[in-house]
Structure formats: structure tokens, C-alpha cells
């Protein structure tokens, strides 16, 4: 099987043959990667939008979009074109600079976080030694975008929505961080490729048994809250009185908020898949055996995307099943339940790591 | 908008996804806490009472289908009962039983829609679709027999406008079986959900004294322990020959109101089941003059709609049109209790409270 | 209490009440000025205990207005209708009962809105359905609407 890293390697060899200047080579490669990344993220958000609507329809005993394009696959394209044609209003009394910059901040921070994610063996944009820390810290910057959007809209409801959103995201980041640390402690490294390689004899969710299971459940709950999806979507709840921090946005800027939301969904599920479910590592049990060799026939990126989309499906499942939590119940959940459990969990994980009681 | 006293006032509605109709609520807030709620009404005031003064006794019934449109049948029943009371005419048995079955089917459809919208208001979108699946079935039965899905206009003074369709009995039996199984599904999806319970328990407490004083009726009052089911205390049509329980609760919060309506759905199914196999043969309408003239006097009829006690006061001066018609609307009184129960709660709770009060604004405004 | 007993009890402390012959309910006719005293008594005396007011409305009889108060007791399960005659057609007014039954708050506002009957000491007497500046009171029999066209 041709792996993705072989493709990238051959392209690199061809390019370095054509361009001799080192910096020019780097810049060309960065440009190619950038364009491919932008294109694939847009494709990804289209696909996720379509998947969301089809999954919702499946849960609600109806067909989803099925008119535009074969089986409705071009529905999101039609929606995007519609958004492009809409008038991008900037309210008169709004803070124009902040108003226009806020969506860009959200999208840029989201795209920055794509860098360390490992799609396949050796196929990573940037394999930095602080991969997990980088993801965790850069995704926190998106709160600024939300608060800017809410404040600059000069609208009571947007402000309320943005404040709630900000409080929610900042609180749940703690739980996410602590559950990521559980895996980091077991692996001993923040580097993404190390974490994936350490799961060569079994995924952490199986090897790490109880504490990792707890960390995984907390991670799923906290990341649903982090990306403002139901049942934690109070900030953009349509049937509450506020319509959210992006009330005043229309046209392309609104589309950018939507894009950022879907890419965020992909990123948290990718992180969950990488850290807890083995990333691109096939399902292995123990050391070299026939089962592992059989599993290896399925290429790495198929495993990675399979796991990520499974987690995305689970998070979409939550949205269409549960009612919404109230803001005080939401914050209650984090500060009184998830955070103490996470902290005790870290203790457990450390003890297990020291004594080697994991598999 | 900050007023001079420093209060933060916001407007919910009149166009809003979770007010069931055009209701304008002015809410005085202190942070997230509600200090005062004031409903502003009249956005759908059509002056039905004045219109009825120029309609004949046969015509005025049909203008009421559009009051509480989810209990259209039951509204028509109330108006017809008032005229029948005035004329002193006895409705044939067959018509009584069929009217009761249609009223209970309407109640089921109304509660199904309420359940779906309750989930929708609290953020769970899926129950809405499940509820409408049942409602579609009931609407199909109605369409076959009465000719319309929502405002049926099937009841006339003295009985019914026409006989039931041959498929009515078999389809209704099918519905009973399906609905019974689905109520268990509803309980699994929404009632047993911890998030849902936390959002409705201890929210919007209405004490028994307040429920009586504010004149609430229907499930809202029954949840606070007030026994007020018109079908039990002042039976009409075929309700005196069926066995059913009046569901009373004690807690008086949103959760209790929710559970009572779910149980009421089961009771409705049991009532229909008792009647559907024993529809007596006979006339479907009693003989009345073409132009009905009621004797001088006041006639008050009351029924139990899906939302409470609907009363029709007919004041007649002997002519062929009513002198004054007054509709005692259950939603009007239930809405007046909103200001009382919302004090001190959070905005998110306001939505849960309105969902369990189950208001239909055209009934409030008439 | 049945109808006869109710009539006797009411006549005992309020002799000026005139009862209708027959009718669906026990109908007690009084003057508009006596509303507050009679209704307070009906609410507070344990033998009556009319704690549930289920309808409050007004009828325009051209020569006078009549306020209808439909009362029910949830403990004794008896009902009563009090009809209060308001003789002044130009400026009809009567005492409020919204401090006795909270449901009367909205119901009296509706009567004020549509008939123009003022209620003394009502906590918040404003129009409830129509615009504040609406001219006239639509449910009155002599209501003229300049926009209405007779076909």
C-alpha cells in the first residue's frame, strides 16, 4: 500500500530537484501545504455540515437533504453560495474594527491547531515536541474572538451570549487539559508522534483501563462544552431569548463562524482519537502477532479518519438527543463535578504510571 | 435598555420561537434573575365576542375553532352545549359518544404537540418529530371523518354534522395501540433524562392557594392539587359513562405539570378504548329548527379543553343572534399566574415554565 | 349548600338581594355599590367559602350595565352568580375585587378595555388587548367605528 508519507516524500524529492535555493524550497512547500490545507478544511466543513444534517434526519425519522445533487450532497455548497451572496451588514453603532476582525480570529486560531495532528505515519504538518500543549493553548485563544464578536455587536443579546460562552469555554478548558495530561503522564511525552507510537501495542483506552476511561468520558463531555454544542449550546440557543454572540453577523463573516465551529469539532475529535484511541495506529493487542499484522493491512489514515468520524457521530448524537443545560447547571457541572473528578483522576494515573499497573 | 430605576428590561416576543403564539413579555432582570414579568396581550385580538353578536346560533360555533385551535373540537362542543342547554334539546346517544371520542382524540393530539414543543423549547429537537408522527395519524383520522385536519367544524347544535367514516373505528383502534407503545418511548427519551428533570424540577412553583386565586384550571391547577376536572365534576356528553382517573399532583412545579399531562394522555387512550367498541346506533343529530332562537336568559356551558376549563356564557334576548357571548378562556387565567410563578427564577427557567403552562395565545386574546 | 339554603343565607345578611326565578345557577341581583361588601362576605364566610371565581364579565343592556361574577366553592361545591347593576351608562364604575381573587386582575382589565367600566382601587387599570389610544369601547352596543363599512 502506498502510504501518505511516501507521497509527500516523493513530492519533496522532486521539488528539491527543481528548486535548489533552500528558503525558496521551504516557501514553496509551505505554500503548497497551505493551499491543500485550506482546500481540505473547506471540503471537510462541507462534509461535516452534510453529515450533521443527515445524522439529524436519521435520528428524527426523516430524510435529510436529498434534492440538491446526488442524495443531497451539494446542499452545503448551495448554502455557502447563498451566504456568499448575502449582504454583509456591519451595524452602525458597532465597534467596526473588532466587529470585522472577530471572525478572522476564530478561523485563524482554528486553522493553527491543525498543524500537529497526525493523519498517518509520518504525515504531519509540524511534529513539534510540545504538540499537546500547543493544541491546548492555541485553541484557548478562540475565546477572544467570541468575546470580541459579542462586545462589538453593540447588542444586549449578543453580549449576554458572549459572556455566557466565555465563562463556559474558560471553565471547561481546565477539564480538557487535565484529561489530556492523563495520557501525557502515561506516555511521558507531549509529542504527538510519540503518543501515537506508544499505542503500538494497544490503544490507551484499553491499556490504561479505569483512569483513562474516566479521562476519556470527561474529555468527551468537556470538549462538547468547549465547542458550544448541545447540550451545552446555551450561547447560541435559538429558543432562549438570546440568539448568541453571532446575532449581528451576516454573509461571509457568519459563514466563517460556522466554518470555525465545524473545524473545531473535527479538531477535538481528532485529539480524542489520537490520544485515547490510537490515532492512525491500527487496533493492536499486545506485541507482534498475526492479529496485529492483519490489522496493519488497513492503511493508517483510514484508521485515523474512521476513529475521528466515529467520535464526531457520537457528539452529533448528543446534540439530537439531550435537552439543553441551564447556564448555572452547566458551570455547576464543571466546577463541582468534572474538575474534582479530573484532579483525582490525575492522581490515579500518576500512581498507575509509577507502579506500572497499566497494560 | 436600562430604565431610570436602573432595571434591565428586555422584551421576549412577540415574534419568538418559544412563546407559543404572539405573546409579548416584558421582563425586568437583575443579572440572570427575573424580578418581574408583565405580559402584553392583544396581538391577535380578533374580537370574536363582538363578531358572534352578529352571527346566528349555528354560525357562531365555527368562529371558536380558531380560539384554542389545538382543542378545536372541544371549543365547538362547548358552544353547541350552550345552545342545546338553551333549547332544552337532548342530543342522541350516538352523537354524544362520537363527540366524546373526537374530543379525546383532540386532547391526545394537543398533548402530543405540547410534548414535542416542550422538548424543542428546552433544546431537544428530536421529540418534536416523534410527537408529530402521532399527530399526523390523528389528523388523518380527522380528515377522513370531518374533512379538515385542524379546525374541524364538525359539531352542530343537537349533534354532529355528518356520520363517521367507516374506517374511523378501525383506524382509531390502530392509533390506540401505537400511541400506547409510543408513550413509553416518550418516557424513555425525555421524561427519564436527567438534564430534562433538572431543568423542570422545582422550577415555577405554584401553590394551591395561588392556583385557586389565580383561577387556573386544567393540568396547571391539577399539578398544584386543585381538583377541577370538568369532566368529573360537571360531566357532559358521554363522560358520565366512562371510567377514568383525574390525575392530581402535589408538587406544583414544572415537572409535576409535565408528568400530569403524560398521564392524561394515557387516560384519554383509556377513555377512547372504552367507547370505541360501543358506539350506539341511532341518529346523529337532534331535530332543531333551521333558524334557532333561544329563549331569553343566560346559559353557561363548560368543558375541559386540553388546557383547562372553557366556559361559554350565552346571553340571549330572544332573537336569532346572541345578545352577548363571553368565552371564559382557560389560557387567560393560566397566563395571569405567570407573573406570580416567574418571580425570582432565571431566564432559562422562564422558558421551561411557559412550556409547561402550555399557552395558546389566540385563546388568551380571542 | 343547595340553592334554597344559599338564598336564605345571603338574604340573612344582605336583604336587598333579589334572586332570579329559575335559571341554571342561583342568580343574585344587587346594585353596583354593594359589590365589595357582598363579595368579600361570600369569600370570607366559611359557610360560603367561594374561593374560585371562574368568570367575570359585563353585559351592556343599553339602559344599564350588568357585571356578572361567577363564583364557585371548591370545598362545598356550590356555585353562585352575582349580577351587579351599574345604572350610570356614561361613566360606569364599580369596586375592584382583584384583592379577593387574583384572577380578577386581568379579567377586570379586559372589561375596562372593552366596556369602559372603571374599577376603583384596581392595582393596574390599563387596556389589555387594544391600543392605549383606541377611541371608544368596542363591546358596547353604541360603539361606532368610523372605519366600519355597512354592507
- Tens digit of each residue's pLDDT (9 = 90 or more) over C87-110: 888 888 898 988 888 889 899 999
Q: Which residues of B touch A241 (CB under 8 A)?
A: 10, 12, 16, 347, 351
Q: Which residues of B touch A238 (CB under 8 A)?
A: 17
Distance CA B233, CA B213 (A): 19
Chains C and A touch (3+ CB pairs under 8 A): no
% of chain A residues with pLDDT over 70: 96
With an 8 Å Cβ cutoff, the interface of chain B facing chain C consists of: 41-42, 45, 47, 49-50, 85, 210, 212-215, 217, 226-228, 233, 297-300, 302, 309, 311, 313, 315, 323-324, 326, 328, 332-333, 335-336, 340, 365
Say what the pLDDT of residue A279 is.
83
Distance CA B203, CA A308 (A): 39
Domain containing C61 — which CATH number? 3.30.460.80
Residue of chain C nearest B329, judged by CA positions: C55
Three-state DSSP class for C129? coil
| pLDDT above 90 (res A218) | yes
Query: Taking the C-alpha atoms of A208, A210, A212 and A218 in order, what is their torsion angle to the nearest 10 degrees?
Result: 170
Q: How many residues does chain B have?
A: 366
- Residues contacting residue A143 through CB under 8 Å, at least 6 positions apart: A165, A166, A169, A170
Chain B nearest CA to C138, separation (Å): 8
Say what the pLDDT of residue B140 is.
92
A286 vs B319: which has the higher pLDDT: B319
Give, as one character, the DSSP assignment of residue C116.
-
- Widest pairwise Cα distance in chain C: 55
Tell me which of B135, B195, B254 to substitute to probe the interface with A (most A C-beta atoms closer than 10 Å): B195
| pLDDT above 70 (res A240) | no
Q: Do A320 and B120 touch (CB under 8 A)?
A: no
Put residue C127 in one of left, alpha, beta given phi > 0 → left and psi -120 to 50 → alpha. Answer: beta
Q: Do B195 and A233 touch (CB under 8 A)?
A: no
pLDDT (tens digit per residue) in A100-119 = 888 899 889 988 888 888 88
Q: Do B193 and A61 touch (CB under 8 A)?
A: no
| pLDDT above 70 (res A241) | no
Chain B nearest CA to A71, separation (Å): 21
Measured between CB atoms, which of C53, C59, C81 is closest to B215? Answer: C53
Q: Which residues of B touch C77 (CB under 8 A)?
A: 233
Q: Do B123 and A324 touch (CB under 8 A)?
A: yes
pLDDT (tens digit per residue) in B30-40 = 877 888 888 88
What's the pLDDT band for A242 if we cut at 50, 70, 90? Answer: low
Specify if C67 maps to a domain: yes
Measured between CB atoms, which of C59, C70, C102 is closest to B213? Answer: C102
| pLDDT above 80 (res B198) | yes
User: Other CB atoms closer than 10 Å to residue C34's CB: what's the count?
Assistant: 17
Measured between CB atoms, which of A241, A323, A326 is closest to B193? Answer: A323
Q: What is the mean pLDDT of residues A239-243?
A: 56
Q: Any idea which of A225-239, B185-199, C133-147 has the lowest mean pLDDT?
A: A225-239
% of chain B residues with pLDDT over 70: 98
Domain extent at residue C86:
3-120
Distance CA A108, CA A138 (A): 10
Specify if C21 maps to a domain: yes
Q: Which residues of B touch C44 (CB under 8 A)?
A: none
pLDDT (tens digit per residue) in C47-94 = 888 889 988 999 988 888 999 999 988 888 888 899 999 888 888 889
Angle formed at CA A325 by CA A319 and CA A326, multiple of 5 degrees = 145
What's the pLDDT band for A237 if we cut at 50, 70, 90? Answer: low
Number of domains comprising chain C: 1
- Report the mean per-residue pLDDT for chain B: 87
pLDDT (tens digit per residue) in A251-303 = 888 888 888 888 999 999 999 998 898 888 888 777 777 777 777 788 888 88
Q: What is the mean pLDDT of residues B310-318?
A: 90
pLDDT (tens digit per residue) in B73-97 = 999 999 999 999 888 889 999 999 9
B300 vs A12: which has the higher pLDDT: B300
Q: What is the mean pLDDT of residues B299-320?
A: 90
* ipTM for the complex shown: 0.88
Say what the pLDDT of residue A1 is.
55
Q: Which residues of A touch B3 (CB under 8 A)?
A: none
Give, as one character, the DSSP assignment of residue A234.
G
Structurally, at CATH architecture level, domain B44-365 sits in: Orthogonal Bundle (1.10)
Say what the pLDDT of residue B5 is.
66
Distance CA C88, CA B248 (A): 45
What's the pLDDT band for B303 if we cut at 50, 70, 90? Answer: very high
Q: Which residues of B touch C105 (CB under 8 A)?
A: 336
Say what the pLDDT of residue A239 is.
47
pLDDT (tens digit per residue) in A299-351 = 888 888 999 999 999 999 988 888 888 878 888 888 999 999 999 999 999 99
Say what the pLDDT of residue B251 is.
84
% of chain C residues with pLDDT over 70: 100
Q: What is the mean pLDDT of residues B11-23?
A: 74
% of chain A residues with pLDDT over 90: 14
Say what the pLDDT of residue A308 is.
92
pLDDT (tens digit per residue) in A33-71 = 889 888 888 889 889 999 999 998 988 888 888 888 888
pLDDT (tens digit per residue) in C19-50 = 887 778 888 888 888 888 888 888 888 888 88
| pLDDT above 80 (res B133) | yes
- Report the mean per-residue pLDDT for chain A: 85
Three-state DSSP class for B244? coil
Q: Do C103 and B215 touch (CB under 8 A)?
A: yes
Q: Which residues of B touch A230 (CB under 8 A)?
A: 123
Instruction: Specify the pairing of strand C93-95 against strand C118-120.
Output: parallel
Q: What is the mean pLDDT of residues A6-26?
A: 79
Q: Do B121 and A322 touch (CB under 8 A)?
A: no
Amino acid at each position: 500500500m502506498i502510504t501518505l508519507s511516501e507521497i509527500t516524500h516523493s513530492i519533496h524529492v522532486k521539488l528539491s530537484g527543481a528548486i535548489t535555493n533552500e528558503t525558496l524550497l521551504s516557501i514553496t512547500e509551505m505554500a503548497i501545504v497551505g493551499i491543500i490545507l485550506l482546500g481540505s478544511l473547506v471540503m471537510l466543513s462541507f462534509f461535516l455540515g452534510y453529515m450533521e444534517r443527515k445524522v439529524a434526519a436519521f435520528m428524527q425519522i426523516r430524510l435529510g437533504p436529498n434534492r440538491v445533487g446526488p442524495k443531497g450532497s451539494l446542499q452545503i455548497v448551495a448554502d455557502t453560495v447563498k451566504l456568499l451572496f448575502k449582504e454583509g451588514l456591519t451595524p452602525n453603532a458597532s465597534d467596526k474594527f473588532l466587529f470585522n476582525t472577530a471572525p478572522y480570529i476564530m478561523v485563524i486560531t482554528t486553522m493553527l491547531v491543525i498543524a500537529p495532528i497526525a493523519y498517518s505515519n509520518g504525515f504531519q504538518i509540524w511534529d513539534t515536541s510540545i504538540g499537546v500543549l500547543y493544541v491546548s493553548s492555541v485553541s484557548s485563544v478562540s475565546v477572544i474572538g467570541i468575546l470580541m464578536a459579542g462586545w462589538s455587536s453593540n447588542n444586549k443579546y449578543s453580549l449576554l451570549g458572549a459572556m455566557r460562552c466565555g465563562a463556559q469555554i474558560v471553565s471547561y478548558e481546565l477539564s480538557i487539559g487535565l484529561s489530556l495530561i492523563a495520557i501525557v503522564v502515561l506516555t511521558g511525552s507531549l509529542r504527538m508522534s510519540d503518543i501515537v507510537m506508544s499505542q503500538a501495542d494497544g490503544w490507551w483506552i484499553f491499556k490504561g483501563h479505569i483512569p483513562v476511561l474516566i479521562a476519556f468520558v470527561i474529555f468527551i463531555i468537556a470538549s462538547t462544552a468547549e465547542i458550544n454544542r448541545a447540550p451545552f449550546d446555551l450561547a447560541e440557543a435559538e429558543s432562549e431569548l438570546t440568539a448568541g454572540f453571532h446575532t449581528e453577523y451576516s454573509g461571509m463573516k457568519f459563514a466563517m463562524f460556522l466554518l470555525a465551529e465545524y473545524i473545531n469539532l473535527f479538531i477535538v475529535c481528532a485529539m480524542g482519537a489520537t490520544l485515547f484511541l490510537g490515532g492512525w495506529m491500527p487496533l493492536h493487542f499486545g506485541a507482534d502477532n498475526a492479529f496485529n499484522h492483519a490489522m496493519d493491512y488497513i492503511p493508517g489514515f483510514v484508521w485515523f479518519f474512521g476513529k475521528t468520524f466515529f467520535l464526531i457521530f457520537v457528539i452529533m448524537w448528543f446534540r439530537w438527543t439531550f435537552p439543553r443545560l441551564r447556564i448555572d447547571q452547566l458551570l455547576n457541572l464543571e466546577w463541582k463535578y468534572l474538575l474534582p473528578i479530573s484532579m483525582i483522576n490525575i492522581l490515579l494515573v500518576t500512581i498507575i504510571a509509577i507502579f506500572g499497573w497499566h497494560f | 435598555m436600562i430604565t431610570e430605576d436602573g432595571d434591565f428590561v428586555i422584551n421576549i416576543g412577540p415574534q419568538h420561537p418559544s412563546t407559543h403564539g404572539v405573546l409579548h413579555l416584558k421582563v425586568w432582570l437583575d443579572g440572570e434573575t427575573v424580578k418581574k414579568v408583565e405580559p402584553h396581550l392583544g396581538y391577535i385580538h380578533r374580537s370574536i365576542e363582538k363578531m358572534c353578536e352578529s352571527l346566528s346560533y349555528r354560525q357562531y360555533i365555527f368562529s371558536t375553532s380558531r380560539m384554542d385551535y389545538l382543542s378545536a373540537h372541544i371549543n365547538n362542543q362547548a358552544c353547541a352545549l350552550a345552545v342545546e342547554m338553551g333549547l332544552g334539546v337532548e342530543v342522541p346517544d350516538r352523537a354524544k359518544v362520537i363527540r366524546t371520542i373526537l374530543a379525546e382524540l383532540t386532547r391526545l393530539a394537543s398533548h402530543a404537540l405540547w410534548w414535542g414543543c416542550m422538548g424543542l423549547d428546552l433544546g431537544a429537537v428530536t421529540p418534536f418529530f416523534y410527537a408529530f408522527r402521532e399527530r399526523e395519524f390523528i389528523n388523518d383520522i380527522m380528515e377522513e371523518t370531518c374533512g379538515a385536519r385542524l379546525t374541524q367544524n364538525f359539531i352542530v347544535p343537537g349533534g354532529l354534522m355528518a356520520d363517521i367514516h367507516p374506517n374511523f373505528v378501525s383506524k382509531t383502534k390502530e392509533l390506540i395501540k401505537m400511541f400506547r407503545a409510543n408513550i413509553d418511548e416518550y418516557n424513555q427519551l425525555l421524561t427519564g433524562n436527567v438534564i430534562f428533570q433538572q431543568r423542570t424540577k422545582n422550577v415555577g412553583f405554584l401553590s394551591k392557594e395561588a392556583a385557586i386565586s389565580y383561577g387556573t384550571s386544567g393540568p396547571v391547577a391539577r399539578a398544584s392539587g386543585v381538583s377541577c376536572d370538568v369532566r368529573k365534576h360537571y360531566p357532559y356528553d358521554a363522560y358520565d359513562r366512562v371510567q377514568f382517573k383525574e390525575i392530581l399532583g402535589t408538587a406544583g412545579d414544572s415537572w409535576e405539570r409535565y408528568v400530569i399531562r403524560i398521564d392524561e394522555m394515557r387516560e384519554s387512550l383509556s377513555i377512547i378504548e372504552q367507547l370505541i367498541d360501543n358506539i350506539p346506533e341511532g341518529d346523529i343529530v337532534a331535530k332543531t329548527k333551521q333558524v334557532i332562537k333561544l329563549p331569553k336568559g343566560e346559559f353557561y356551558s363548560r368543558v375541559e379543553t386540553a388546557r383547562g376549563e372553557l366556559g361559554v356564557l350565552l346571553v340571549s334576548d330572544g332573537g336569532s343572534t346572541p345578545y352577548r357571548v363571553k368565552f371564559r378562556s382557560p389560557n387567560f387565567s393560566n397566563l395571569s399566574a405567570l407573573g406570580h410563578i416567574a418571580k425570582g427564577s432565571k431566564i432559562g427557567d422562564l422558558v421551561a415554565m411557559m412550556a409547561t403552562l402550555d399557552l395558546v395565545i389566540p385563546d388568551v386574546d380571542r | 349548600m343547595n340553592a334554597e339554603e344559599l338564598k336564605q343565607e345571603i338574604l340573612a345578611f344582605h336583604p336587598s338581594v333579589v334572586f332570579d326565578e329559575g335559571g341554571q345557577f342561583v342568580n343574585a341581583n344587587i346594585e353596583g355599590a354593594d359589590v365589595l361588601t357582598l363579595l368579600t362576605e361570600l369569600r370570607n364566610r366559611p359557610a360560603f367559602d367561594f374561593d374560585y371565581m371562574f368568570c367575570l364579565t359585563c353585559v351592556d343592556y343599553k339602559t344599564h350595565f350588568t357585571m356578572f361574577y361567577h363564583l364557585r366553592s371548591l370545598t362545598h361545591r356550590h356555585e353562585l352568580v352575582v349580577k351587579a347593576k351599574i345604572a350610570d351608562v356614561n361613566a360606569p364604575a364599580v369596586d375592584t375585587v382583584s384583592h379577593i381573587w387574583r384572577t380578577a386582575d386581568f379579567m377586570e382589565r379586559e372589561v375596562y378595555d372593552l366596556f369602559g367600566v372603571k374599577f376603583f382601587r384596581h392595582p393596574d387599570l390599563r387596556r389589555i388587548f387594544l391600543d392605549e389610544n383606541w377611541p371608544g369601547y368596542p363591546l358596547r352596543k353604541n360603539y361606532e367605528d368610523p372605519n366600519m363599512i355597512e354592507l
